Chains A and B, each alone.
Chain A
């Protein structure tokens, strides 16, 4: 597949996400969860992005692991996929589409603005631990997004700012339970990502930990996730609002770590190039 076609496919997925965002907003206006049409669009976005990634993979002879464009592209795919799977199997999370969809759209628009030129992956980097590291990282962020999106809608609905949003979370207690469960699983995957990353870094470039900005912020994110789970047992009377706001804060830090740090430092890891 040519680079031009790949870029067109990305553009199509961005337009689809824009449509899904409109569907969500229309849903709010009508006072209902417009989940089914949104999920349908997600499924098409996943198919289109699968084609784009597969085409790129075949053309470059390597997976999307290295450049910032690679990171955005693969995460747009994985975040959409994980959110769709989670929301399809856990109805309580579906209102989260109201927050998840525009966020995916932002990533998509960002992607269209990046150079898509590939950089070859040095031989030493391609081993099983890279896969474990990357896949668990994507699962972490996807699950954390699902928890955060649902938490944000709950926060909005309880802020009383709009009755239209308030009706989206009719079972706040169950939804909250589900959010914490997702958050906990995301913490497990984050831990796997961290350890697999260290094993991989050791085999790929002889350093299991080098305090590069990405590693440092990943550790900070991990401590934050663990700290928030801890805070819940430390302060048993932690309010629902405070807990959900902490989840949102953790996602913001995770998001900045995944996309902000590599954006600023060009390569995902300082040692990579």
Chain B
């Protein structure tokens, strides 16, 4: 048993693990189809190797700074593992004046152990303002929301570049992604009524293509294009994205037919009902993530660095001080000439 542990604690294995980790990291980042999860293999080898070394190598344990560094590394690995298992990462677009809807969240990543509690989030979208410098250079973002905290109270907060909200453990951060949405009212031939918003492509990224496909409640697919009377963004002046009073038309087209244009308050007849353009709003996209061990990972990493610094002070400084007293430049030149 002991000899097995000793073999597992081999420092050559550490080197092999580090090299494998580096190689797999490069492969994972360069090849589209390869998941970064392959780096778990060398990480597991390194963790076992380090555990074995901590158990069997007495001089290793005796060097406090070095010990703190390596234990810190172990904790970092542990936090990475827990993060990968518990994490959630997704995106959601929320319409100005309406509530966050968990059903609209697009999941980017979800760990095996993540218990999804998105539907407990209660958040309402208020005003959005994003400032741009000439050349469409995005500056500060201000997105006002109201949300219900764990205490049950409703909080108002402006999210932005460095301000994020934490709701039910999820971190909600404003992203650069936002755009306009057309509020439509549908009256079906059967008398049914519906109010809904169609989100147009991201703005100003796709200001040249404010076009999307929408399927009516009666099941007909139509193209909707948002067309402002004058440009709302400016390439060569400062500009602010947000609610706009710029007049606009909505071009409604069905494959093969000439488009019909409606303005605010106007309607158009479609198969199975009538649709009316009610208003123009903005939508804001958020990143929603749950990374409960991230902060601990950073703490462990800084602990490791502190250990490393202590080890340096003990191992190198005395020798460096000795060396420093004997290698004056003049002495150097003197010896060089000799």
Contacts and interface: CB of A to CB of B under 8 A. Distances in A.
A192 B305 contact: yes
A262 to B, nearest CB: 15
Contacts of A33: 329, 332-333, 336
Given A92-B327, A122-B161, A171-B335, A219 B137 contact: no
Given A94-B329, A123-B160, A233-B11, A224 B133 contact: no
A188 B305 contact: yes
Interface stretch (B14-22, B120-128, B144-152, B247-255): B14-22
Contacts of B141: 123-124
A177 B320 contact: yes
A230 B15 CA distance: 7
Contacts of A177: 316, 319-320, 323
B162 A127 contact: yes
Given A168-B336, A171-B327, A198-B298, A227 B18 contact: yes
A209 B308 CA distance: 23
Given A91-B328, A220-B22, A212 B312 contact: no
Contact of A123 (B12, B139, B327, B335): B139
Given A185-B312, A199-B298, A227 B327 contact: no
Given A31-B337, A234-B14, A123 B161 contact: yes
Interface residues of B, number: 55
A123 B140 contact: yes
A44 interface: no
A230 B14 contact: yes
A120 B131 CA distance: 13
A170 interface: yes
A187 B287 contact: no
Contacts of B328: 91
B221 interface: no
A107 B315 CA distance: 34
Q: Which 7 A-B pairs have the closest CB atoms?
A: A124-B161, A170-B335, A174-B323, A167-B336, A216-B29, A234-B11, A181-B316
Interface of A: 31-33, 35, 90-92, 94, 119-120, 122-124, 127, 167-168, 170-171, 174-175, 177-178, 180-181, 184-185, 187-188, 191-192, 195, 198-199, 202-204, 206, 208, 211-213, 215-217, 219-220, 223-224, 226-227, 230-231, 233-234
